[in-house]
Structure formats: C-alpha cells, structure tokens
Structure 1
C-alpha cells in the first residue's frame, strides 16, 4: 500500500550534527555525519518502505536556519516528485516571517508550515505565532507543530496539547493543525483536543508502530481513523523501522489506507 510520510526532513549537516540532538543520537546509535546526505539516499530509504511522498520540512531556530526553505526547494526539485516542501520561518521576525511563508507557498509550491515550539521555547499560544496562523488560513495550508515531551535536550512544557493546542484551535477554528509526535505523555489530552476540534489532527512521527500508546491505537481503530496520519521523523527513524510492526495493530483495510496515505492526501491536498 502506498505511504505518505507526514513528518520528515532531508537533513543538512547543520541540522543533523546539532548538539541538541545528542540525546537522539544516543538512543538511535547514529553518529555525526561526515558529509551531507545525498538526496538519492533519502529517496532509496523511502522506496524501501513504499513511501510515495515525503513532506520534507525546513528548520528555523533562534540561532538561524538549520535547513532553509530554499534548500528544501532544491531537495524537492531533485526528488522526481517524491518530496513536497514544508516551510519554516524565523518566529521572532513576524512581518518577515509572513512574507517568507507566502513566498514558500506561492513561489516554491510548499504545502504547509511547520514550527517546532521547543526550538524557540515559546508555546503555540505566544503572540508571535498568531500572524502566521492567519496567513496559513489565508493561504489554505495546514500548520504543523510538535506535541508531547521533547526528545532533544530542550524543555518539554511547550508540547502540552492542553492548554496550548486547544486554545489555538479556539482562536483559529479555520486553521488546520497537525500535531506531530503523538503527544506522549499527554496522549489522552491530545486525543481529547483532536476530538473537540474538527481541524485538529495527530501524526505518529518519532514513534515506531510497536511504541504507539495503547490509547492512540484504540483511537485509530475507532472514531479517530480520519484523525491520525503516519509520520516517521526521518532520518531519526526510517520508514521501514516505523512500519515494521504495523500489522500487530490490527487495523482494518479502510483504517490502514486512511492512516498510511488517505488522511494526508486529503489534509495536505496532495
């Protein structure tokens, strides 16, 4: 069955070798990269797990970009249609950030915006986000963000679904919000927020299938089948690793199709 990866990135050396990912390298056993990862390596890893489309994101942080929008655009151009761009922006420069988001969508063809709150140590309710939410609605694109604890060596508070995602969804009911990384250890909160708001979704990035919390599996099997998207957080986890124990979840064919690609195609308008 074809797969869409809702959360991945083709890394630069600035991104993959950053000190804040020391904890992830310790968990995964991955070392520092000595040279930039070629795009063909990412495409081969995707093909090995039948990933047809990967939503490859830029990374912008307080100390500067780790993966720029223009770098992502170049990766997309080299991918033979396998990658779609997800924009990043400098959150602390709101006017320039909105202009850059519009450029990424209207000129580069990007399909979403992603901001990782722990990177800025600012929760999604901070006023600096709000012009970008309005721009996302105006551009007709989803806002992607991280929920749950922080694997990298940064504080986790910004990843709480309640009150942060709940409040943003109340303030911007037209905004589509995709919450990556499941929300653990606040998974039940994340499910409650997704149930409450029509335009709030969950993606499973950063977790292999055998590590999905039980409450998320139950949600995916039932009322949440149109609310959960597959993601990897590649290159930290490869698609093959993330999908290895998928059959153990006991998903029916309709749920499997929605989870692996149907929901993402609909929500990102792929």
Structure 2
C-alpha cells in the first residue's frame, strides 16, 4: 500500500548537528553527522517502506536558515520524484517572508508552508504569522506546524492546540492547518480542535505506531479516519521504524489507506 510521509526533512549539517537537538541524539543514540547525508540515502529509506512521496521541509529560525528553500529544491531535484518541497520563511521580515513563500510555491513548486513555533518562541497566534496565513489561503496550500511538547531543548508552551491552533482556525477558516507531532501531552485538546474545525488535521510525526496515544488510535479508528495523516520526522525516525507495529492498531483497509496516503494526497493536493 503506498505511503505519503507528511512531515520529514532531508537534513543539512547545520540542521542535524545543531545543539538544540542534543536531546534527540541522546534518545536515538545517533551522533553528529560528519558529512552531508546523500539524498540517495533518504530516497532509499523512503523506498524501503513504500513511501511514494516525502514532504521535505525547509527550516527557518531567528538565527538563520538551517535548511533553506533552495536547498530543499535541490534535494527534490535529486530525488527522482520521491520528495516534494515544503517552504519556510523568516517570520521577522513579514513582507520578505510572504514574497519568499510565493516564490517557493509558484517558482519552486512547493506544496505547503511550515513554521516550527518553538524555534521562534512565538505561538501561532503571534501577529508575525498572519500575513503568511493569508498568503497560504491565496496560494491554496496548507500551513504545517508543530503541536505538543518540545523534544529539542526549547520551551513547549507554543505547542498547545488550545488556545493557539483553535484561535488561528477561527481567524482563518479558509486555512488548512496540519498539526504535526500528535499534540502529546495535549492530544485530547488536539483531537477536539480537529473535530471543531473542518480544515484542521493531525499528523503522527515523531512517533512510531506503537507509541501513538490510545485516544489518537481510537479517533483514527472512528470519526477521525479522514483527519489523521502519517508522518515520521525523518531522519529522527525512519518510515520503516514508524510503521513497524502498524498492524497492531487494528485499522481496517479503508482507514489504513486514508491514514497512510489518501488523506495527505487530498490535503496537499498531490
């Protein structure tokens, strides 16, 4: 069954070796990268789990870009169609950020926009986000963001679904929002926001199937079957690792197809 990975990145050395990821390296037992990871290694990791498309994201923060949009475009060009780009931008320069987002979508062919709020220590309701939300609506692309606690060594408050995602969805009812990392320990809040707003979705990145919270599994098996997307947070977790215990979730065939690919294909217009 084909798979779409809704949240991953092909890393640069600036990204992988950043000091804030020390906690993730400790959890995974992986050391610093000594040389850039080849795109073919990422493509092989995706292919090993039948991942048809990985949505590879740029990373922009207040100290500069860890993965630029142009670097993502180059990774996409080397991927034999296995990667699609997700844009980033510098929130502190609103006019330039909107122009860069438009360039990434209209010239580079990117399919979404992502901001990781804890990088900026600004919640998604901060005024610096709002011009970019308007641009996403105009461009017809989803806004992707992180919810839940912060694994890297940064504060977690910006990842609360309520009030932040709830308020953004109220202010921009035409904006599609994909919330990565499940929302734990506020998973019930995240489910409530996804239920409330037609255009709010959850992706399972940063968690393997055996670690999905019970309430998320119940939601996925029931009314949330069209609201949850598969993601990995590669290279922290490979698709094969993330999917290893999928059969233990007890999903029927239709739900499995929607979760692994169908919902992402629809939400990202792939």
**C-alpha RMSD over aligned residues:** 0.2
Q: Which runs of 5+ in 2 are unaligned?
A: none
Give TM-score scaled by structure 1 length: 1.00
Secondary structure class of the residue paired with 1:224 = coil
Give TM-score scaled by structure 2 length: 1.00
Match of 1:42 in 2: 42
2:88 is the counterpart of 1:88: yes
Match of 1:216 in 2: 216
Distance 2:37 2:23 in 1: 20
Q: Which runs of structure 2 are paired with 1:95-114 in the superposition (5 Å)? A: 95-114=95-114
Distance 1:204 1:92 in 2: 29
2:229 is the counterpart of 1:229: yes
Distance 2:148 2:137 in 1: 24
Match of 2:121 in 1: 121
Secondary structure class of the residue paired with 2:81 = coil
Match of 1:188 in 2: 188
Deviations 1:14-67 (A, max 9, x none): 000000000000000010000000000000000110001000000000000000
Deviations 1:179-208 (A, max 9, x none): 000000000000000000000000000000
Match of 2:204 in 1: 204
Match of 1:52 in 2: 52
Shift of 1:137: 0.1
Match of 2:133 in 1: 133
Match of 1:8 in 2: 8
Q: Matched residue pairs, number?
A: 270
Distance 1:102 1:159 in 2: 26
Distance 1:93 1:242 in 2: 36
Q: Which runs of 4+ in 1 moved over 6 A?
A: none
